[in-house]
Amino acid sequence: MTEEETRRKRQARFERLAQVVVEPLHRYLLRRAGADLAEDVLSETMLVLWRRIDDVPGPGTGSATEPATEPDADPDADHSPDEVLPWCYGVARGCLANARRADGRRLRLVERLIRTQQRPPTGAADHSDHSDLHAALGALGALDREVVQLWAWEELAPRQIAEVTGLTSNAVSIRLHRAKKKLAAQLGRKDAERSGHKRDEGRSSQ
C-alpha cells in the first residue's frame, strides 16, 4: 500500500470514528465542564484521536497497511459505539485533566500579577511588573477588563459580576475564562515554560 493510500485509509477511518463519537464526547464533557472549556477540550480530544487513530479499538486497529475489514464487511463495523466510546472517553478525560491543570497555572499567574498590581512599586523590578500588568489589562476589551477587575480586585463571583454588568452568569464565566487565557498568553508564557510541566496526551496506555 502506498503512502497516499495509507493516508486516505486513516482519514476515512477517522471520519467514520468522528461520526460515532463526537456527540457523545461533547455530552460527556458538558457534564463535567462549562460550555467554553468543553468545546476546547473536545477539539483537543479529536486531535489526539486523529494522531492515535491506529490505536483506537476495533478491526481497523494496528498497521494502517492492513485491511481494516473483510471485503464484504460493513465499513462502519470498526466503530461500534460500545467498543470505541470507553476508550475515547478515557482520552477525553485525560485532555480535560490537562486543560484544568493549565487553567490552574493560568489562574495562579493572574492572581500573582493581581497581587503585584495591588502592592505599590518599591523598585525597578516592581515597576516593570506593574507596567506589564497594565499593558496586558489594557489589551483586553473594555468589558473583559471590567470583568477581570471585578473578579480579581473586588473578589466578586461570576453571579455577582453578572449583576454589576448586566451580563448573564454564563456569559461572565465565558468572558472571564477567555480573558484569563489572554492575560496568560501575554504575561505567562515564559513562566509556564519555566514550570517544566510536561503535558500528557490523553491516555498514555491502555
* Residue 71, in any domain of the structure: yes
Asked whether residue 48 falls in the same domain as residue 121, the answer is no
Find the domain containing 158 and state its range.
Answer: 103-194
Asked whether residue 97 falls in the same domain as residue 116, the answer is no
pLDDT of residue 205: 44
Asked whether residue 124 falls in the same domain as residue 93, the answer is no
Cα separation, 118 vs 89, in Å, equals: 43
* Residue 205, in any domain of the structure: no
Sign of the torsion formed by the C-alpha atoms of 162, 164, 166 and 172: negative
pLDDT of residue 48: 94
pLDDT of residue 22: 95
Asked whether residue 10 falls in the same domain as residue 96, the answer is yes
- List Cα–Cα distances, 62 to 20, 68, 89, 125, in angstroms: 20, 9, 20, 55
Measured distance between the N- and C-terminal CA atoms of the chain, rounded to whole angstroms: 28
Grid cell, residue 106, equals 493560568
Structurally, the chain folds into a number of domains equal to 2
pLDDT of residue 204: 44
Asked whether residue 9 falls in the same domain as residue 82, the answer is yes
At which residue does the C-alpha cell 470514528 appear?
17
Asked whether residue 55 falls in the same domain as residue 144, the answer is no
Asked whether residue 70 falls in the same domain as residue 12, the answer is yes
* Residue 7, in any domain of the structure: yes
Show which of 56, 85, 102 is a domain's final residue. 102
pLDDT of residue 65: 39
pLDDT of residue 117: 55
| Contact by Cβ (8 Å): 35, 170 | yes
pLDDT of residue 78: 54
Asked whether residue 122 falls in the same domain as residue 189, the answer is yes
Q: Which of 201, 163, 155, 158 is nearest to 177 (CA)?
A: 158
How many of the other CB atoms lie within 10 Å of CB of 157? 13
* Residue 27, in any domain of the structure: yes
Show which of 52, 73, 102 is a domain's final residue. 102
Asked whether residue 117 falls in the same domain as residue 93, the answer is no
DSSP result, 127-184: HHHHHHHHHHHHTS-HHHHHHHHHHHTS---HHHHHHHHS--HHHHHHHHHHHHHHHH
Asked whether residue 90 falls in the same domain as residue 135, the answer is no
pLDDT of residue 124: 43
What 3-state DSSP class applies to 31?
coil
* Residue 180, in any domain of the structure: yes
Show which of 76, 102, 128 is a domain's final residue. 102
Asked whether residue 166 falls in the same domain as residue 80, the answer is no
Determine the Cα angle at 119 with ends 116 and 121, to 5°.
Answer: 90
pLDDT, tens digit only, all 206 positions of the chain = 788 888 899 999 999 999 999 999 999 999 888 888 889 899 999 999 999 999 998 755 554 434 444 444 444 455 677 788 889 999 999 999 888 887 777 677 666 666 665 555 454 444 444 566 677 777 888 888 888 878 877 778 888 888 888 889 889 988 988 888 887 777 665 455 445 554 555 554 44
pLDDT of residue 15: 93
Residue 108 maps to which CATH number?
A: 1.10.10.10
